[in-house]
A and B are shown apart, each in its own frame.
Chain A
């Protein structure tokens, strides 16, 4: 699903990612672990081009999205992302947060179709070969209704439908992060990238967030997770990448990795954190 080929990233003169090559297959849950400063987060942020890679390619569904000519916005719609700091839109209510992107995308599509239809109608006036119009099945109102219902359904799923009209500043960290996760889900992504989703949470809120992620994992969502929660990585991941110094040093199944790491630095790392 995602092929990463010799990905490199430098900030200023410092090379943070030193040639990463890996493949993320559909349905996989990949956990990325490693000491801080090892480039895990940078790697994850390169996957959806929040950081533009310096060189190398990221083939997502057959398209190299590292290419600057590609319209990245279209591909990002299929890649959800969950941040360490939640990053809910502060000026929007919870419901608006979830609805914003799907609504914008669908309404823009509708507008574009309508505009194209106007041109086709004009063309049809003068040409002998009539072009078919784009089919428009839904009105703006219907789209809004549909997106709203989907958002409410997602909110009900995490049991926060009573917070629909609250602003993010009134929520706890765990609630914010769960809403951030369903905000990503609302776009029906093919893969979700998690950037240390529990690192900014109070200890008693970690569980509710991890439980939601586990649920999604069980439903077959493809995931890439940067995490410091080793127990969680071991439980959920189907593959573990150990990164240090901008490189993938070990790629293994969680059982193998946590019980019998091959790489000396991975051994050292695990002896410190476990």
Chain B
């Protein structure tokens, strides 16, 4: 045990005295930003796709949009996120002539990626809402899109909130690959600390701990949100 204590002391020294904590904080910030903003983008994209997929398909436009959405979902579910990051950063953006900081690229890719997953979650959520709700909205003269946004989607979101929380947790953990394109996340921070004296045991343990704590906090938040959204179900 003596050597472990020594390792902890050394880790602590680098963490405090050699600016290690700064790197960790930056990494933490990037991780959270990429996951949260990514999920926000994902929810917007996913809701749009889900709304298109559940649309009645008499006309040609919804049918074409549906094909496009399916292609998109297939593309982003069919490739690992590392590949998406690399292709976007080294192929797509240079071809388009766009220059973006790595963190922004990560936000974009994580948003697009989670959009594909959220669309399926959201579609299930929308289908779980009683079709009578849509009919009632249409019957009082609201348009399809207004009924969707004001009546159906809020109820769908309530139903899928636990699954969306899961998605956020998955995103948080998946951000550990963003160093592939040079974005500074927790992994980069703790590797830096570890490589300072070639001692990786304590830094990586600390990294694991931080991930666990983050996930626990998110789970708590999701539960709180769920409870406040459930108020329309509660009987007084």
Contacts and interface: CB of A to CB of B under 8 A. Distances in A.
Interface of A: 48, 50, 52, 73-77, 79-81, 83, 85, 87-93, 100-101, 104-105, 166-170, 180, 183-184, 187
Contacts of A104: 142, 146, 150
B137 A73 contact: no
A198 B189 CA distance: 66
Given A91-B155, A170-B236, A101 B132 contact: no
Contact of B154 (A76, A91, A101, A180): A91
A73 to B, nearest CB: 5
- Which of B137, B139, B154 has the most chain A CB atoms inside 10 A of its CB? B139
B9 interface: no
A187 B138 contact: no
A91 B236 contact: no
A89 B135 CA distance: 10
A73 B136 contact: no
Contact of A90 (B58, B146, B155): B155
Contacts of A183: 140
Interface string B120-138: 0000000000101101111
A90 B236 CA distance: 15
A74 B136 contact: no
Interface string B50-78: 00000000100000000000000000000
A101 B136 CA distance: 10
B136 A88 contact: yes
A90 to B, nearest CB: 6
B143 A50 contact: no
Going nearest first, the 6 A-B pairs with the smallest beta carbon separation are A77-B141, A87-B136, A101-B140, A81-B139, A87-B132, A76-B141
Interface string B205-236: 00000000000000000000000000111111
Interface of B: 58, 130, 132-133, 135-143, 146, 150-151, 154-155, 158, 231-236
- Which of B58, B135, B236 has the most chain A CB atoms inside 10 A of its CB? B135
A90 B133 contact: yes
Nearest to B132: A87
Contacts of A184: 139-140
B158 A87 contact: no
Contacts of A93: 232
B158 A187 contact: no
24 contacts: A52-B58, A73-B142, A75-B141, A76-B141, A77-B140, A79-B139, A80-B139, A81-B139, A83-B139, A87-B132, A87-B135, A87-B136, A89-B137, A89-B151, A91-B151, A91-B154, A100-B140, A101-B142, A105-B141, A169-B234, A170-B236, A183-B140, A184-B140, A187-B141
Contact of B141 (A73, A90, A91, A167): A73
A87 B236 contact: no
B82 to A, nearest CB: 39
Given A89-B133, A100-B150, A169 B232 contact: yes
Nearest to B233: A169
A87 B136 CA distance: 6
A73 B158 CA distance: 27
Contacts of B150: 100, 104
Contact of B235 (A80, A100, A170): A170
B64 to A, nearest CB: 18
Nearest to A85: B132
B136 A76 contact: no
A187 B140 contact: yes
Contacts of B146: 104
A204 B158 CA distance: 33
A50 B138 contact: yes
A166 B132 contact: no
B57 to A, nearest CB: 13
Nearest to A180: B136
B232 A91 contact: yes
B154 A48 contact: no
Contacts of A52: 58
B125 to A, nearest CB: 13
B210 to A, nearest CB: 37
Contacts of B135: 50, 83, 87
B138 A87 contact: no
Contacts of B139: 48, 50, 76, 79-81, 83, 184
Contacts of B154: 91
Contacts of B233: 167, 169
